[in-house]
Amino acid sequence: MPELLGQRDELLRRVEESFPDVSVVVRGNEIQCTGARAHQVGRLFEEMVLLLQRGERLDQSVMDRSIVMVRAEQRPSTVLTDDILKGSRGRMVRPKTAGQKRYVDCIRENTITFGIGPAGTGKSWLAVAMAVQALHARQVQRIILTRPAVEAGERLGFLPGDLMAKIDPYLRPLYDALYDMVDAEAAQKLIERQTIEVAPLAFMRGRTLNNSFIILDEAQNTTPEQMKMFLTRIGFGSKVVVTGDISQIDVPDGRSGLVGLEKKLGGIDSLGFVYLDGTDVVRHRIVADIVAAYEKAGEREQRAASRKNNPRV
């Protein structure tokens, strides 16, 4: 009961704040809920007990995510206990939201998965985790991490060093995710043996990628021609994850290879699209608030543009 309610009942207070129309009374080992949404609160506590029984540690972030899931008629006990692999720091890597769970399941079930959503939703991080897990399970022979080297305000030519030194900052987020899954020394050995390859998208032209787990990150910055080139590199025994955020397109003319892609490819078997949103952001809470603010601003701009183009509406 102390683990369920939290230190000084902080988790209980979180529940009461989220469901102000429900009265929660704790007596010994019993919890009584009365009110319009008492059934949701009861289900929430049942799910929290299941998490505790499976060795999960409850804190405010877990409770907040669980509340969101229960409101959406989802089960936190199935989402938050889906083990992918043990990371380099000894912590188990798992999805943290229902959207992330859908994303992980889609990667498992399909040859090609498109994960589209805002910053902080774990698109690249979970993709790298799934790639490392597939390598450990010997489902693939190598991992290829790639992203387009698109300048966002600074030009490659002004950066110091040779070509690889100039490109390295663009690939750094993929290295960071990789080091979360495999310690730096082991990762470096895998890179030296070319079991893990990190390269810019331009280096993919002309290759056929067999028995590989391939991740294309920041795909919103590909052109349609680059996206077609990449997707036609896929060989036998390979799995592909393409991640991107269509609200952060840096392609100079705005011709993103990710925009409108589902209309072209949506009917193909073993190819799936997963869309994440602000509820799937797992960084600092302020990141989710920023994403939500930008989404609202975008909706207002669309409505204003619609009224301007259709004055009678």
| pLDDT tens by residue, 267-303 | 899 999 999 988 888 766 676 677 678 777 777 777 7
222 in a structural domain? yes
- 59 with 196, same domain: the answer is no
- The CA-based dihedral angle spanning residues 234, 239, 245, 248, taken in that order and rounded to the nearest 10 degrees: -40
Percent of the residues in the chain that have a pLDDT greater than 90, as a whole number: 51
- 201 with 65, same domain: the answer is no
Give the structural domain span for 68: 2-79
CATH of the domain at 54: 3.30.1370
208 in a structural domain? yes
293 in a structural domain? no
- 102 with 205, same domain: the answer is yes
The last residue of one of the domains, among 46, 79, 112, is: 79
155 in a structural domain? yes
105 in a structural domain? yes
309 in a structural domain? no
Q: How many domains does the chain have?
A: 2
- 113 with 47, same domain: the answer is no
The residue with greater pLDDT, 175 or 135, is 135
The last residue of one of the domains, among 79, 110, 125, is: 79
pLDDT of residue 299: 75
At 305, the pLDDT band (50, 70, 90 cuts) reads confident
- 66 with 180, same domain: the answer is no
pLDDT of residue 262: 92
- 35 with 145, same domain: the answer is no
302 in a structural domain? no
- What is the rounded average pLDDT for all residues in the chain? 86
What's the mean pLDDT in 39-53?
A: 94
pLDDT of residue 167: 63
Global pTM value: 0.81
What's the mean pLDDT in 87-112?
A: 91
- 23 with 124, same domain: the answer is no
- 18 with 167, same domain: the answer is no
- 47 with 130, same domain: the answer is no
Q: What is the pLDDT of residues 174-206, one digit of tens each?
A: 888 889 899 888 988 998 999 998 888 888 888
- 6 with 67, same domain: the answer is yes
Residues 6+ apart with CB under 8 A from 37: 19, 21, 22
124 in a structural domain? yes
Q: d(Cα 200, Cα 216) in Å, to the nearest integer? A: 9
- 140 with 23, same domain: the answer is no
- 270 with 135, same domain: the answer is yes
CATH of the domain at 103: 3.40.50.300
Q: d(Cα 298, Cα 235) in Å, to the nearest integer? A: 39
